[in-house]
């Protein structure tokens, strides 16, 4: 039977666990383990760096083995590993853009 004068314990006095805090903690622990692990791409050891985000988190980056700059993506091509700039890679649209512009110039001149 419920006693109307028994207010019970208040929420703030009891230990709690939220799913979001567990996930956040697991992600942070995973990041730390990932950073400490040995990462190899195309036979090259790839270093990983971190940067702080605006809201107190951290972001992982690859360090390009050619220019040593932080990159979100590395590529493997022609037996080399590096960022898009170091490997002189172009997006498909960039390749055709120059071809179209040169064709337009010759057509109108």
Full-model pTM:
0.57
- Structural domain of 103: 15-108
The total of structural domains in the chain comes to 1
pLDDT at 108 over 70: no
Query: What pLDDT sits at residue 75?
Result: 92
Residue 102, classified by CB atoms within 10 Å of its CB into exposed (0-12), middle (13-18) or buried (19+), is exposed
Residue 34 resides in a domain: yes
- For residues 87 and 37, the model is more confident at 87
pLDDT tens readout for residues 5-37: 666 655 565 666 777 888 888 888 887 787 767
- For residue 75, give the 3-state DSSP assignment: strand
CA-to-CA distance for 2 and 6, rounded, in angstroms? 8
Query: What pLDDT sits at residue 59?
Result: 86
Residue 71 resides in a domain: yes
Taking residue 62's Cβ as centre, other Cβ atoms within 10 Å add up to 20
């Amino acid at each position: 039977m419920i006693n109307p004068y028994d207010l019970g314990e208040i929420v703030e006095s009891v230990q709690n666990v939220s799913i979001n805090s567990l996930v956040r903690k697991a992600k942070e622990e995973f990041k730390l383990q990932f950073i400490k692990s040995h990462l190899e791409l195309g036979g090259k050891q790839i270093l990983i760096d971190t940067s702080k985000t605006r809201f107190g988190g951290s972001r992982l980056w690859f360090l390009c083995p050619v220019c040593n700059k932080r990159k979100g993506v590395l590529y493997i091509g022609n037996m080399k590993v590096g960022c898009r700039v170091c490997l002189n890679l172009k997006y498909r649209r960039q390749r055709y853009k120059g071809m179209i512009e040169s064709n337009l110039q010759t057509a109108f001149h």
